[in-house]
């Protein structure tokens, strides 16, 4: 579905990252391959995989053209108030990382990506009263690779 993505990800041992959540994207390696870790006792499901893949997709698209602010494009696509930077500050000002997660623009991006891949209306981050349209989300994410 997303040919711009590298063919194979790097699966890292979770022991390297003690305290890993269910699944985590750890950035791109020097060759641009996405790096993921999954907790040893977590059975990966399609929704979690799509969410983590969304984080990787953001970084791959940003690497293609660092001059594009893809989070600003996403924020405008969703019609969210303010800027993604303001939401990022709100996320970081929460009493804990888990409390801030729902305000994170990067997590919102990954949730919308998951919705577009899975074609389901489900979002765990703040949607500012703007319910996700999965078909439109899929088209938005596909359009980013066409630059």
Among 23-27, 119-123, 131-135, the least confident range: 23-27
Q: Is residue 4 part of a domain?
A: no
The 3 state secondary structure assigned to the chain is CCCCCCCCCEEECHHHHCCCCCEEEEEECCCCCEEEEECCCCCCCHHHHHHHHHHHHHHHHHHHCCCCCHHHHHHHHHCCCCCHHHHHHHHHCCCCHHHHHHHCHHHHHHHHHHHHHHCCCCCCCCCCCCCCCHHHHHHHHHHHCCC
Residue 1 falls inside a structural domain: no
Regarding pTM above 0.75, the answer is yes
Express each pLDDT in 122-142 by its tens digit: 999 999 999 999 999 999 999
Nearest to residue 24, comparing CAs of 32, 7, 33, 12? 12
On whether the CB atoms of residues 102 and 71 are closer than 8 A, the answer is no
Q: What percent of the chain has pLDDT over 90?
A: 75
Q: 67-115: per-residue pLDDT in tens?
A: 999 999 999 999 999 999 999 999 999 998 888 999 999 999 999 999 9
Question: Are 36 and 48 spatial neighbours (Cβ–Cβ below 8 Å)?
Answer: no
Total domains, the chain: 1
Within-domain flag for 3: no
The band of 16, judged by pLDDT with boundaries at 50, 70 and 90, is low
Q: According to the model, what pLDDT value does residue 142 have?
A: 96
Q: Per-residue pLDDT for 39 more than 80?
A: yes
Question: What is the residue range of 44's domain?
Answer: 10-144
Distance CA 133, CA 121 (A): 7
Does a structural domain hold residue 82?
yes
- Residue 5 inside a domain? The answer is no
């Amino acid at each position: 579905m997303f040919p711009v993505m590298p063919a194979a990800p790097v699966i890292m041992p979770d022991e390297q990252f003690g305290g890993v959540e269910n699944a985590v994207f750890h950035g791109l390696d020097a060759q641009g391959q996405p790096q993921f870790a999954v907790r040893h006792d977590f059975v990966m499901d399609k929704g979690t995989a799509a969410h983590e893949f969304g984080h990787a997709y953001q970084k791959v698209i940003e690497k293609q053209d660092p001059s594009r602010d893809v989070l600003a494009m996403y924020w405008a696509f969703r019609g969210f108030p303010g800027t993604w930077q303001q939401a990022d500050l709100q996320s970081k000002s929460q009493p804990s990382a888990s409390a801030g997660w729902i305000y994170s623009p990067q997590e919102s991006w990954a949730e919308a990506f998951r919705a577009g891949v899975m074609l389901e209306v489900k979002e765990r981050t703040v949607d500012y009263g703007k319910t996700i349209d999965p078909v439109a989300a899929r088209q938005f994410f596909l359009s980013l690779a066409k630059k």
